[in-house]
Amino acid sequence: MTGRIVLLGATGYTGGRTAQAMVDRGLSPVLAGRDPDRLAGIAHGLGGLQTARADVTDPASIRALVEKGDVLVSTVGPFMRLGGPAVAAAIDAGAVYVDSTGEPPFIREVHETHGPDAARTGAALLPAFGNDYIPGVLAGALALRDAGNAARRVDVGYFLSGGGRGRAFSRGTLDSVAGVMTRPAYAFRDGGVREEPAASRMRTFHVAGKPRPGVTIGASEQFALPRLAPGLRTVDVYLGWFGAANAALHASSRVTPLLGRIPLLAGGATTLLQKVISRIPAAPDAATLERTTSHFVAEAFDGTGTLLARTHLTSPDGYAITAGLLAWGAGRAAEHGVDGTGALDAVGAFGLDRLVAGAAEAGIVADRSAE
């Protein structure tokens, strides 16, 4: 029996694109949120979908919508502020939970805090099931498969090319970044997840004909890839979206965590940024997205630092990728379920070959020119 899909956040930019992607796949999600009138308009435009009232800050209102075997999809961020109740509702119901977060502290909280509770109720939690961070998990898994058992380290890099000067990020994405910039980050070192300041390490990848710097971030890969290769000792994820500004981020990496330890300073900085961001249009610049190509690189090394395997994936518009992946993952989970309970990664939940196929449907493909 196919479970229902409930989508939180359809009135937002990412959620709206996700609702459309689900309908394009032949799915009929229930659109849930606090504004019945806005939801009704969106549902009508998508062919007459069912709607339901739910408050993302109230687990009981979300819990009333999902049962065991259902799939709850959340695109409502910032997740550190608003994401907890949906996770709690899914755990209580024993449902499958999928979200679009890119916020490292939330990802870590789902894996380390909520995962054990989900395992006890039979729920499955799949955070960060979008452009952040499925492509890097996929690239890393493919590199590890090619590298074999000798792999001890994986470096994953996220890069953009071709966008120009326009704004490639939605207001919601920027709001999420502002909310986590002073919070502790993490890395996978010596066989375990360790706290480490974001941007504390920097390296250069050769991508799209250019050397491109990136700085370290917390992500999903630190949890996913060691499950695939127990011999791994190090997993680093590098973000290279900011070009030359990466050097400044790296230089400031010792200062930013200190701000987080002073609540007044951290709160003031976050509030100021969020006020500025609130004046930005919700949607990114469409022309910029059209020109942008995303690159996802994974390199696997042995214990001496010798490169064993390299995977380079590309995709267009990152928001289309997130919408497509959420639609594919939710549809697959609703019809066939997932492998395992607790906090899962995409490869473990669906299998590598199925994930490759699903990612290709969303537009993520291998860059054969780089081979």
The pLDDT of residue 75:
96
Whole-number pLDDT of residue 267: 44
The vertex-245 CA angle with 240 and 251, nearest 5°, equals 100
Residue 97 tokens, joined: 């939970």
Mean pLDDT of 133-156: 97
Closest of 159, 176, 214 to residue 367, by C-alpha: 159
Q: What pTM, to 2 d.p., does this model score?
A: 0.88
Which H, E and C letters describe 257-313, residue by residue? HHHHCCHHHHHHHHHHHHHHHHCCCCCCCHHHHHHCEEEEEEEEECCCCCEEEEEEE
How confident is the model at residue 197, as a pLDDT? 86
Q: Which pLDDT belongs to residue 369?
A: 55
What per-residue confidence (pLDDT) applies to 66? Answer: 97
pLDDT for the residue 290 = 74
Give per-residue pLDDT as tens, 35-78: 999 999 999 999 999 999 999 999 999 999 999 999 999 999 88
Percent of all residues in the chain with a pLDDT value above 70, rounded to a whole number? 80
- Selection from 269, 180, 192 nearest residue 226 by Cα: 192
Q: What residues does 94 pair with on adjacent strands? A: none
Q: Are 216 and 203 a contacting pair, CB within 8 Å?
A: no
**pLDDT at residue number 264:** 41
How far apart CA 48 and CA 109 sit, in angstroms, is 36
What pLDDT is stored for residue 143 in this prediction?
98
Q: Which residues pair with 216 in a beta bridge?
A: 238
Q: Distance between CA atoms of 141 and 137, rounded to whole angstroms?
A: 6
Q: How many CB atoms lie within 10 A of CB 1?
A: 5
59 alpha-carbon distance from chain centroid: 22
Average pLDDT of the segment spanning 309-337: 95
How would you class 306 by CB atoms within 10 Å of its CB: exposed for 0-12, middle for 13-18, buried for 19 or more? Answer: exposed
Tokens found for residue 126: 């799949």
Residue 314: predicted pLDDT: 95
Contact at 8 Å (CB) between 202 and 217?
no
Task: Write the pLDDT tens digit of every residue in 73-125.
Answer: 999 988 999 999 999 999 999 999 999 999 999 999 999 999 999 999 999 99
pLDDT at 30: 98
The answer on pLDDT for 258 being more than 60 is: no
pLDDT digits (tens, 9 = 90+) for 282-319: 666 777 667 788 999 999 999 999 999 999 999 988 88
Q: Beta partners for 31? A: 7, 51
The per-residue pLDDT for range 179-238, each reduced to its tens digit, is 445 567 899 999 999 999 888 889 999 998 899 999 899 999 999 999 999 999 999 999
Report pLDDT for 162: 79
Q: Give the pLDDT confidence score for residue 46 in this predicted structure.
A: 97
Question: Is the Cα torsion angle 72, 73, 77, 80 positive or negative in sign?
Answer: positive
First and final CA of the chain: distance in angstroms?
Answer: 43
Q: How confident is the model at residue 272 (pLDDT cuts 50, 70, 90)?
A: very low
Question: Is residue 118 a contact partner of residue 124, using CB atoms and an 8 Å limit?
Answer: yes
C-alpha closest to that of 312 among 327, 300, 303: 300
Model pLDDT, residue 147: 97
Domains observed in the chain:
5-130+319-350 (3.40.50.720), 134-318 (3.30.360)
